[in-house]
Amino acid sequence: MAESDAEKPTRHKGYGMFEYEMHQERHAELIREAERSRLLREVREARKAARAARRSARDEGEGRVSTQNTQGSQGGTHGGSQEPRRSQYAPTA
């Protein structure tokens, strides 16, 4: 038993309060950091929503152009095969 008592660090008076104060300070710091993170996330989300609203309002008047195949009856393929049409200006190999 004497060996286990020797292994324990000696605690001096006053250090318990110091550790408690350090814990309280760290706790307050973590709360401030979490609040900053929440605020930054809210700002990012608000900016993203504002951009989307501006984009939507801008595109609403002129109509959004689809990026999908809009070639009508040609369909982008020829002769029923699944290969895409080759441009008439593309060099042949």
Residue 41: inside a domain: yes
Mean pLDDT within 48-73: 74
Tell me the residue range of the domain where 54 lies: 13-60
79 falls within a domain: no
Total domains in the fold of the chain: 1
Q: 51 or 9: which carries more pLDDT confidence?
A: 51
Q: Which residue has the higher pLDDT, 6 or 16?
A: 16
Q: How confident is the model at residue 57 (pLDDT cuts 50, 70, 90)?
A: confident
Out of 17-21, 22-26, 62-66, 86-90, the most confident range is: 22-26
Helix (H) or strand (E) segment spanning residue 37: helix 15-62
Q: Does 88 reside within a domain?
A: no
The per-residue pLDDT for 81 is 59
pLDDT higher than threshold 90 for residue 33: yes
Domain for residue 17, yes or no? Answer: yes
Examine residue 50 and state whether it is found in any structural domain, yes or no.
yes
- Examine residue 53 and state whether it is found in any structural domain, yes or no: yes
What pLDDT, on a 0 to 100 scale, did the predictor assign at position 56? 87
From residue 78, how far is each of 66, 67, 70, 84 by CA, in Å? 22, 20, 15, 7
Q: Is residue 48 part of a domain?
A: yes
pTM (two decimals): 0.44
The total of other beta-carbon atoms located within 10 Å of residue 52's CB is 10
Q: Is 20 domain-assigned? A: yes
